[in-house]
Structure 1
Amino acid sequence: MSRLTELIDRIKFKDPKLGKELMEEFKVISARRQFGLNFERHKPENVELPNRKIKKGDKVRILPERKSLKKGDQRLWLVKEIFKTGKKKVASIKLLDDLEAKTLEKDIDNLIVVAEFQDYIYPGLVSTGRLERNKDKPYHTVINGENFHALKALNFTHKGKIDVIYIDPPYNTGSRDWKYNNNYVEADDNYRHSKWLAFMERRLEQAKDLLNPDKSVLIVTIDEKEYLRLGMLLEQLFPGQRIQMVSSMINPKGSARGKEFYRVDEYIYFVYFGKQTVNDVLIPGLCVSNSKDNDENEAEGESKKIKKVRWASLLRSGSEAQREDSHLKFYPVLVDRGTKTIIDAGDPVPLGIDKSEVDIPKGLDAVWPIRSDGSDGRWQLNQNSFRKLLSNGHLKISSINKKSGKITFNYLMEGQRKQLKEGGLIISGKDKYGGIIVEYSDKDSVVGRPRTLWMTKAHSATEHGSSLIKKFIPGRTFPYPKSLYAVEDTLKFFVRDNPNAIILDFFAGSGTTAHAVMRLNRLDDGARQCISITNNEVSAEEQIILKNKGLRPGDKEWEDLGICEYITKPRIKAALTGKTPEGKKISGEYKFYDEFPFSKGFSENVEFFTLTYHTPIAIHHNLAYQQIAPLLWMRAGSQGMRIDKLPEKGWEILGNYALLVDLDKNADFILSLKNRPKIKMVFIVTNDDRRFQAIVRQLPDGVEAIRLYESYLKNFQFTSE
């Protein structure tokens, strides 16, 4: 409908009377509303690509002069030819969709490539850095690019595989918090709400195909500006799905709304797919109910006390507690002197040999089973049992006396270990010594699911959002970041029982979701992955400063201040390594389910990518494999090494996937594959379906085969339809 108003405006210019009559008829038609949410589905967006080299056939815009604050020419031009004039490259351009337009000649430095959503695009990924701190875990990924196009690419790598989508989209406040077609949407824009809805609808349509239909959840945060329209949009996009809204306090002090009530909360929508339910977990400070479903007393919300799991003391007490009663259980527990972590159990010391005669490795302290009267006692476990429980995390330090330095140990008994294996007990986190926290999973023994009103100080966006970012990336600010603990809590309801969950955030902003997933992994040694998508937009205020300096998008100084480069990447790096961008240890500590220093970082991996766009010419000549290599790696699980180049020998096996390019080498390939049981995915490059099927029949059981065409990126040709 907005397209009609644009056309009518053009008619008005040539024939005011006819234009006026058409507008009156248009108003009558537009006033007819059907039941439900109706909005203008604006012409699909376009995105400017400042880092893309200009080529013949590209659509471009003419940039304003440097140091100019004007918008510049918003019309689209087609590049007809590129040639050199002296040392400069010049483009011959013609106004798009205007057959009578004359061609202009413009310095290509004053042009910028534009990708319209209805055009075919050929995206790829280029790595801009990686950090690895645990070779056994998959990588979190951060993608710098237009999120609609990135979602299109993910429909190749993760279709139906995402367990949780958590997004914090622009709230459409009218205060220049987002752009539509490269222009800020102002508060007085007549189509402000419909532009936002069209913007969100396109992305949610793509997200729908990524979610696991059997069990997954879509989580969207919003405030009062658009929550009613968002709710109706979700109902229309996901008919038949269960949808629920929660009110969450994020600013206890409140923010002013003119002379209205102070705003302290925002809203969170949950869309449940398949068998997805809300897990009962311990969430300190939230209003909870642990009554059974359909219990008439559930509304009263009386929470039962948590039944604590009892750990056994490693030191034997009571009868037969002397060293002489079981001398094989008299040995030193070796503890790292610096980190205060348990390293191993030393060898048993025979009777008659004093413990002072035992050599202790350098840097370790020996903790002996000494009774309260100072005599030699014994442990409950022999050396082998000790080591087995330690390796499984079922033995830990229970306390360290601040004055004497005495260390005591606890372990889980056999019955509790069985309950843990069968699900009667769950691991809910880690304590300050790094040991696991174990709770009963029975909802009548542990607090149940929270209600729809969340009120906890840990969710304050000021203390645990803005202030936290200042610690991790000093001197840098980000508007309205989420509380790290609020995101962690929200995700925990859905991924606690899935240590391999894949979480997607395509409005990643400062990177809070990835940070929260790393914390969740630390709580239970999980291998969850987070895929974060953000752009490299520079704030409106900074744009004015940069433009006054004569800078433009694409200039290094401009790009260095974009969201992804200036906030997201350094924040995630700092969280992972425990060091600021300047290399200093981050002061302070996490104070939530478990307490540990920020400087400790996480045993996780992350890789950063930039979304790139390629021409059909490069694609048809197989010149863009390196740009789709990360997409193949991501589809195979984002773990281990990557096949970044076409293998000279015709095939390659690396990490947990394989690539076959030369089908004549399939015999050697199959033979090597059978000796690699960890390989679960194989990409085969061929247009011949018969040969493809013949090779598939030879693959080991459990290996998934995916066919790639000779022109690799034909698989990645997308349009917005």
Structure 2
Amino acid sequence: MAHIDNLISAVKDPQLREALRIEYEKIAQTRKFGLVFDRHQPESVLLPSFAVRPGDKVRVLQEGVRDRTAVDETGVWTVVSIAGSDVQLRDAEGNLRNEQLARLVVTREFGDSIYPGLKSVGRVLRGGGIDDAGDKPFHAVVNAENYHALQALLYPYEGRVDAIYIDPPYNTGSRDWKYNNNYVDDNDPYRHSKWLSFMEKRLELAKRLLNPASSVLVVTIDEKEVHRLGLLIEQVFPGRRMQMVTIAINHRGVARLKEFTRVEEYAFFVFIGEAGPSLTSDDLLTAEAEEEKTGEVVRWERLTKGSNNALRTDRPNLFYPVYVDPERGRIAKVGDPVPLNVDRKSVPEEPGLVTVWPLSMTGVEKRWQCSADTFQSLVDQGMAKVGSYDRKNDRWSILYLNRGQRERIERGEIRVTGRDANGVLELEMNERPLRAAMTIWNRSSHNAGYYGSGILSALLPDRKFPFPKSLYAVEDSLRLAVGDKPDALVIDFFAGSGTTAHALARLNREDDGRRRSILVTNNEVSVAEAKALREQGLSPGDPAWEDLGICRHITIPRMRAAVTGISSTGNPLKGEYKFGQVFPMSDGLDENVEFFDLTYEDASMVSLGRRFEAIAPLLWMKAGAKGERIDKISDQGWEVLDDATYGVLFDTSSWPGFVEAVAKRKSEALPLSHLFIVTDSLVEFQQIAGRIDQGIELVRLYADYLRTFEINTPRRNRSVGDGWRRPAVPRQRDNEQASVP
């Protein structure tokens, strides 16, 4: 390089010398060492179901086709004006063209500013319900192109994510992924650089989402791209600790002509800040027999039968009262079974005791897990106890040690250390010393055939999905990433069949955690399905086509089945989970899940407050994705709900009532964490902020939203006026000299 400088300096013509120096400096600034690949043309996504509006970028459909993804070769056009069905277009060079509205499809290029929203398309409540102050936060499944979804998630979660687990396309050359709406196969000479360009954009966003103080990135891959991926991760996350783990996923192996039989895949773990692998009693490599020692805490099960079909009418002999002494928090008496024709309200109360029945949250009569005689025996042995008391709903929970736990006591896996004041056993696990897992994992539970495809077939017996991960392999990965963070937020933006959320829910059941996940997947159909659908005259956007997309056909139904214990065919799930916690799959999982479609909004409509319902889920997510959501603008000008973790001031002239409601709000289970104030005036916002408890984070709408969602454009340094927010950090209140509006 010094020699080139000398050569340029030797040029006698000063103008030529300066021109050469400028051009050389441009080249020198863009030269990179390490992994070098082409950054291909910006990715784009077609949105066939979106309405065309002035200012939109569009593609033109081929002549005479119905398929709204079959565009011509004229490139991208911008809509100048719309008059009925006539549309005037302009290209990048200023050329004008007129087209019919029906022939246009909206497109979004990665580089355009877009303003996303979320539309709820359903939910499953098994984690307490939104009207229960002790409920769990919600998992979310988002149907979207994952780059735009990641940009959307920057608004609520930039720098706040505890772990990202992804299983990206492996780029096998078998048309297993798309770049710019086209499948990439092994005939494409640029498939590796396209894949790297595709991954780099998403990893850069993942980096912004991860908590810089402590978080973990996990990326699984096979041998096709493992080496390039390792180099790419090192470039995107320079200086971070990274390790590669080898995981045996098929012990029988996959035979290949003139090659070794493949049995493994790989997982890169990137530890950011203070993060490191959680310690475990199972190193995941040594003798398989030791795998049974899971290192979990001793779990007491709820006596109420959790299955949806566990009703009083099914087993009347399992419906009896349990009498609790509320002063001592102990089980004082076990009543007799109540015949089906006898109203439970006719059963006499016991003086000084509280009568507990097996009822659902909605008051439906269910049944206990065991008979009255068996339960009385467990009480006598100290193997049953009173659980927590729900003050809001005036309910006591009853806990017991199920047969599996009692057998573990007999085998010595659980040690009895004493009894409490009520005679209840005090227990702890007999474990090996905790340690970090090995970098080679050899566990039968990680077999992708048995515990990936096999489990998915149990959940969705009428549907197929290629190559799902072993549920237990993902669970072990997440245990090592967030096992010591019971409230962790985990994102998977290559969600596929939804294994990540399923595994996280099992991890929550193991240690009573409240972890939540956000799954992002598109709604594409497979190559074979697309061919069959087109032969039927269907195209993307048609209901029959969309119903077969991965999100609607696989991911959402899988999460419904796993949580409810009911398969996609409407029957209780068969079989049981085999590793770690062993329990019937039909019991389901105590989690809340909501399903969303990503929408693309008009910035002017948002700023006018006319699309609040579209951004409402993002505000709810920002406030923790738990409790009730504020979905519409209140007539009183503000909303602060008792069962929500946030409030919104829509009309600043109504600030006195809003401030008073915030001050009166009392809920230890769901404290207010965020307040959103709609105003274009920074001064007005700051004046109202001065009246609010300093422990609550305040955000100004819609400026904060709009600045964040000028997405796909280079990140700018923002001034205070761009969308000021007050962090939830206690500080001394300033002297209030300005008048409150």
Query: So what's the TM-score if we normalise by structure 1?
Result: 0.77
What is the one-letter code of the residue matched to 1:367? D
Q: How does 1:453-602 map to 2 (within 5 A)?
A: 453-602=440-589
Q: Secondary structure at the match of 1:176?
A: strand
Distance change >3 Å, CA 393–CA 549, structure 1 → 2: same
1:281: which partner in 2? Answer: 280
Letter of the 2:88 counterpart:
S
Residues 1:439 and 2:424 aligned together? no
Q: Which residue of 2 aligns with 1:663?
A: 652
Partner of 1:707: 700
In 1, Cα distance between the equivalents of 2:319 and 2:264?
41
**Other structure's SS at 1:590 match:** coil
Return the alpha-carbon distance in structure 2 between the equivalents of residues 639 and 278 of structure 1.
28
Counterparts of 2:572 and 2:682 in 1: how far apart (Å)?
56
The one-letter code sitting in structure 2 at the alignment partner of 1:618 is M
Contact 2:319 2:337 in 1 (8 A): no
Please name the residue that 2:56 is paired with: 58
- Partner Cα separation in structure 2 for residue 128 and residue 552 of structure 1: 22
Residue deviations 1:466-499, cap 9 Å, x none?
A: 1221221122111111011110111011222221
Tell me if structure 1 keeps the 8 A contact 2:679–2:702: yes
Cα pair 1:342 1:397 within 8 Å, conserved: no
CA 111–201 in structure 1, closer or farther in 2 if over 3 Å, else same: same
Alignment-derived partner of residue 295 in structure 1: none
CA contact (8 A) 2:563 2:590 kept: yes
CA distance in 1, matches of 2:588, 2:495: 20
User: Whole-Å Cα distance in 2 between the matches of residues 576 and 388 of structure 1?
Assistant: 23
Shift of 1:341: 11
Check whether the contact 1:140–1:605 (CA below 8 A) recurs between aligned residues.
yes
Match of 1:131 in 2: 124
- Cα contact 1:640–1:656 (8 A) shared by 2: yes
> Structure 1 152/337 Cα, relative in aligned 2: closer, same or farther at 3 Å?
same
Alignment of 1:235-246 (within 5 A): 235-246=234-245
1:36 matched residue in structure 2: 34
1:191-340 alignment, distance < 5 Å: 191-283=190-282, 286-288=284-286
Q: 1:67 offset after TM fit, Å? A: 7.0
Residues 506, 618 of structure 1: CA spacing in aligned structure 2 closer, same or farther, 3 A cutoff? same
Q: CA deviation at 1:268?
A: 0.1
Tell me the equivalent position of 1:159: 158
Shift in alpha-carbon separation, 1:275–1:720, aligned structure 2, 3 A = same
The residue type paired with residue 82 of structure 1 is I
Structure 1 unpaired stretches of 5+: 1-28, 290-300, 314-335, 349-354, 372-376, 403-409, 418-434
Q: Is the Cα contact below 8 Å between 1:162 and 1:504 reproduced in 2? A: yes
Q: What CA distance in whole angstroms lies between the structure 2 residues aligned with 1:676 and 1:520?
A: 33
- Decide whether aligned partners of structure 1 residues 51 and 337 sit closer, same or farther in structure 2, where only a CA change above 3 A counts: same
> Using the alignment, how far apart are the partners of 2:605 and 2:279 within structure 1?
52
What is the match of residue 92 of structure 2?
A: 97
Q: Which segment drifts farther, 473-482 or 231-240?
A: 473-482
Q: Which residue of 2 aligns with 1:76?
A: 76
Q: 1:109 Cα deviation (Å)? A: 3.0
Q: TM-score, normalised by structure 2?
A: 0.75
Cα distance in 2 for partners of 1:183, 1:228 equals 25
CA-CA distance at 1:185 after TM superposition: 1.4
For the residue of structure 2 that corresponds to 1:695, the secondary structure is helix
Aligned residues: 611
Instruction: After TM superposition, give the deviation of residue 657 of structure 1 in Å.
Output: 0.7
Which residue of the partner structure matches residue 18 of structure 1? none
Of 370, 373, 396, the residue aligned with 1:367 is: 373
**Does the CA-based 8 Å contact 2:417-2:426 persist in structure 1?**
no
Seen in structure 2, the aligned counterparts of structure 1 residues 338 and 526 have a Cα distance that, compared at 3 Å, is farther
Q: CA deviation at 1:628?
A: 0.5
Measure the CA separation in 2 of the matches of 1:47 and 1:618: 23
Q: Which of 663, 668, 678 lines up with 1:685 in the alignment?
A: 678
Q: 1:698 to 1:307 in 2, by over 3 A?
A: closer
Contact 1:625-1:645 within 8 A present in 2 as well: yes
Given that residues 162 and 210 in structure 1 are in contact (C-alpha distance below 8 angstroms), is that contact kept between their aligned partners in structure 2?
yes
- Deviation, structure 1 residue 163: 0.7
Partner of 1:634: 621
- Letter paired with 1:603: D
Retained in 1: the 8 A contact 2:417–2:428? no
- Check 1:454–1:60 CA distance in 2 against 1; reply closer, same or farther (3 A cut): same
Work out the CA distance in 1 between the residues paired with 2:325 and 2:137: 37
**Match of residue 673 from structure 1:** 662
Please give the per-residue CA displacement for 1:151-189, whole angstroms capped at 9, x wherever unaligned: 111111011111110000011111111111111112121
Residue type of the partner of 2:401?
A: K
2:710 is aligned, of 699, 702, 717, to 717
Q: Is the 8 A contact 1:185 1:192 kept in 2?
A: yes
Report the CA distance between 1:536 and its aligned residue: 0.8
The alpha carbon displacement at 1:211 in A equals 0.8
The Cα offsets for residues 46-88 of structure 1, whole Å up to 9 and x where unpaired, read as 111112111222221122343789954142123233333xxxx
Contact 1:249 1:266 in 2 (8 A): yes
Alpha carbons of structure 1 residues 673 and 506: separation in structure 2 relative to 1, 3 Å:
same
| 1:592 CA displacement | 1.2
Going from structure 1 to structure 2, the CA distance change for 1:308 and 1:675 (only over 3 Å counts) comes to closer
Q: How does 1:376-455 map to 2 (within 5 A)?
A: 379=380, 386-387=385-386, 396-398=401-403, 413=417, 438-439=428-429, 445-446=432-433, 448-455=435-442
Distance 1:340 1:38, change over 3 A: farther
Q: Distance in 2 between matches of 1:658 and 1:593?
A: 41
* Structure 2 unmatched runs, 5+: 1-26, 130-134, 301-313, 327-332, 340-366, 390-395, 408-413, 715-741
1:325-369, Cα deviation, whole Å (9 max, x unpaired): xxxxxxxxxxx9789899845689xxxxxx99x755556633389
What do residues 605-637 of structure 1 show as CA deviations (whole Å, max 9, x unaligned)? 111111111223323432211110000000001
Cα displacement string for residues 562-611 of structure 1 (whole angstroms, at most 9, x for unaligned residues): 11111111111111111123322222221111222222111111111111
CA gap of 1:688–1:601, structure 2 versus 1, over 3 A, is same
Q: Distance in 1 between matches of 2:299 and 2:545?
A: 59
Check 1:306–1:261 CA distance in 2 against 1; reply closer, same or farther (3 A cut).
closer
Query: Identical aligned pairs, as a percentage?
Result: 44
Q: CA 1:283–1:80 in structure 2 vs 1: closer, same or farther (change >3 Å)?
A: same
- How many Å separate the matches in 1 of 2:93 and 2:520? 36
Give the Cα–Cα distance (whole angstroms) in 2 for the partners of residues 343 and 198 of structure 1: 64
Q: For residue 113 of structure 1, what is the aligned residue in structure 2?
A: 106
Distance, in Å, in 1 between the alignment partners of 2:661 and 2:69 is: 61
Label 1:461 to 1:672 Cα distance change in 2 as closer, same or farther (>3 A): same
Distance 1:216 1:232 in 2: 20
Change in Cα spacing, 1:463 to 1:80, as seen in structure 2 (3 Å) is: same
> Which range moves more in the overlay, 240-249 or 40-49?
40-49
SS class of match (1:387) = strand
CA distance in 1, matches of 2:506, 2:612: 35
**Secondary structure at 2:279's aligned position in 1?**
coil
Tell me which amino acid in the other structure corresponds to 1:92: Q
Letter of the aligned partner of 2:217 in structure 1? L
RMSD between aligned residues: 3.9
Which residue of structure 2 aligns with residue 175 of structure 1?
174
